[in-house]
Structure formats: structure tokens, C-alpha cells
Amino acid sequence: DIQMTQSPSSLSASIGDRVTITCRASQTISSYLNWYHQKPGKAPNLLIYAASSLQSGVPSRFSGSGSGTDFTLTISSLQPEDFATYYCQQSYSTPLTFGGGTKVEI
Amino acid sequence: QVQLQELGPGLVKPSQTLSLTCSVSGASVSSGTYYWSWIRQPAGKGLEWIGRIYTSGNPNYNPSLKSRVTMSLDTSKNQFSLNLTSVTAADTAVYYCAKLIRPQWYFDVWGRGTLVTVSS
């Protein structure tokens, strides 16, 4: 199985901050990397697919980059509704696997 | 607009079979355009992919659960199902159904999730 490691596991930030979350794969996955965020009690919501493609309806302050083994999710200006847990997911091979999550707190 | 809804019992006894159904609206499970998947999340923990199913071909399961999992499609009811046998407390989780887009294999639509507790 491909292991996905996210860092940090949690972070504190303020409204308007630029936030960066990193995801590392245990082997190369090309651009088969997707990002989600999840609010308490809710299902995950797709933000970015194929490492850098913005899902329809997702605000442009979210962006993704990277390929191979190292990937980044950036929120350019943190908004109140962005406080959530963020997960990366590799889709290079089955079993599909997720990172452990990064909790973004105030 | 595609919507998914998980249905099934919230409590299952140890050693019994967990059975859930995902009702799909806004898309046909038999169209061949999408794959359909189950994911679970124990309380306070991360996400675990269980498997995916498609109108053609065999389902694909996570090897960690493969010996206990069966997924199926019911095209007449436009839904798909999950059976997990011989459950233990470790199977207690929120179970999500989701629509899976290929070839990038991302989950673009999720159900709200249903909590299944394994307890006697």
C-alpha cells in the first residue's frame, strides 16, 4: 500500500493568513493526488484533484501543487469557513489511501 | 445534481454482518460513467477506503478487508450495497458512500455518512 504522510498534523492560524499543508507519498504517484476538507460531523468535500485542478465551485484561494512524491495544498487567505481538517488521497494505485489529516484551527 | 444517501442499521452485534445500502439520485448506477465506493471513518480518526464497484467488471476491495467485504449493485433500485461479515468493535465507524471519478479516481460526491456501532 502507498502510505500518505501529512504535515503538520495540526496548525493554528488567523483569518487572512496564508496556510500551507504538505503531503508526502511513500512512492512516486505522478499527479494522482487529491485534496479534501472535512468539517466536524460532515462528509469530506473535494477541493483539488489531479494535484492542481480546482474542483468546480471551490474558491480560488485554494490551490494545489506538486508531483511525484511531494505535494502542497495552499490557502492564500484563510477564511472562517476554512477551519476544518484537510486530507490528501492518492489515486495512483489501489488500495486508495488517505493521509492522516491536518486540522486547521484558529 | 447527484445525491447519495446511506441506509442501514446503526447497531450491529459482534460476529454478525453489517449491511448498508447507498441510494443514488441524479445519476444511474448502471450508466457505466462512474464507479461507486464505500469509505469509513472511526470516531476521531482518518479515512479508510473499503472498495469500489462498477456496472461492468468485478468489484475492487481493500486487501485489509477483502476477506469480509462484498459490494453489489441493484440497478432496479438505483442503489449499491456493502456487506461486511464477522464484525468486531474495530468496525465501528461512520460509513460513507461516494461517487468515484476515473481515471483520476477522486470522490466528487459523498453521502452524509451513517454511524454504525458494533456492540452486543
Do B112 and A50 count as a contact with CB atoms less than 8 A apart? no
Provide CB contacts within 8 A for B102, sequence distance 6+. Answer: B34, B35
Please tell me whether the peptide bond between B103 and the residue prior to it is cis, using omega within 30 degrees of 0. yes
Rounded mean pLDDT, A17-44:
98
Q: How confident is the model at residue B116 (pLDDT cuts 50, 70, 90)?
A: very high
Q: Is the pLDDT of residue B14 over 80?
A: yes
How far is it, in rounded angstroms, from Cα A55 to Cα B13?
A: 40
What's the pLDDT at A53? 98
How far is it, in rounded angstroms, from Cα B13 to Cα B59?
A: 26
Do B96 and A89 count as a contact with CB atoms less than 8 A apart? no
What's the pLDDT at B31? 83
Which tens digit of pLDDT belongs to each residue from A53-88?
999 999 999 999 999 999 999 999 999 999 999 999
From residue A53, give the alpha-carbon distance in Å to each of A49, B22, B40, B81.
Answer: 5, 28, 25, 31
How far is it, in rounded angstroms, from Cα B14 to Cα B119?
A: 6
From residue B58, give the alpha-carbon distance in Å to each of A50, B41, B61, B87.
Answer: 25, 24, 10, 23
On chain A, the residues whose CB falls within 8 A of the CB of B63 are: 1, 95
Which tens digit of pLDDT belongs to each residue from B54-78?
987 789 999 999 999 999 999 999 9
Do B110 and A43 count as a contact with CB atoms less than 8 A apart? yes
- In single-letter form, the type of residue at position B69 comes to V
B47 touches chain A (CB under 8 A): yes
Closest chain A residue to B100 measured between Cα atoms?
A91
Closest chain B residue to A85 measured between Cα atoms?
B46
Rounded mean pLDDT, A31-47:
97
Rounded mean pLDDT, A17-34:
98
On chain A, the residues whose CB falls within 8 A of the CB of B105 are: 32, 34, 91, 96
Which tens digit of pLDDT belongs to each residue from B71-97?
999 999 999 999 999 999 999 999 999
Q: Percent of chain B beyond pLDDT 70?
A: 100
SS3 B98: strand
On chain A, the residues whose CB falls within 8 A of the CB of B113 are: 43
Q: How confident is the model at residue B29 (pLDDT cuts 50, 70, 90)?
A: very high
Q: Percent of chain A beyond pLDDT 90?
A: 99
